Amino acid sequence: MTAKNFFSEDEKAAIRMSIAAAELHTSGEIRVHLEDNGGADVVKKAKKVFDREGMHKTKDRNGVLFFIGAKDHTFAIYGDKGIHERVHQEFWDGIKDELMGYFADKKFAQGLCVAVEKTGEKLKEFFPREKSDKDELSNEISY
């Protein structure tokens, strides 16, 4: 199983729809990125992808990246400065723990959709959407 075929087309569509729905009520940006392997320091790799994808350039520094290593079953959640300062590590740990439960049951897409939804709710709390807001980043899964 590689990153590109980790999710079915229907699962990819569900993830994109979850991202779009989560971003409807917030200026926050959510992305999902898959690679074959996350490696020993998956958080460091997620940060590298976060920066490469320009997620640190959002107006309010409120981007969130879900990074998945498909073959080595690693994942990381990386939230930018604006959101991380407001929700702190406990929020991310809770999302991570819930994701681990879904992933243990091999419900990868379902877990990711739930995590995206909960992240969107939290982003809405601190960064509600304003009329002038625009979708700054693609909702497509990156590889």
DSSP letters, 48-111, are HHHHHTTGGGSTTS-EEEEEEETTTTEEEEEE-HHHHHHHHHHHHHHHHHHHHHHHHTT-HHHH
What average pLDDT does the chain have? 94
Kindly state whether residue 27 falls inside one of the protein's structural domains.
Answer: yes
Structural domain contains residue 141: no
Q: Assess whether pLDDT exceeds 80 at residue 124.
A: yes
Residue 130 lies in a domain: no
Look up the CATH number of the domain holding residue 65.
3.10.310.50
Q: Which percentage of the chain shows pLDDT scores above 70?
A: 100
pLDDT of res. 33: 98
Tell the burial category of 101 from Cβ atoms under 10 Å away from its Cβ (0-12, 13-18, 19+): exposed
**pTM recorded for the entire structure:** 0.94
pLDDT at position 113 is 98
Q: How many domains does the chain divide into? A: 1
Range of the domain at 71: 9-125
How far are the Cα atoms of 20, 36, 125 from residue 73, in angstroms, in the given order?
A: 25, 9, 31
The answer to the question of residue 140 being in a domain is no
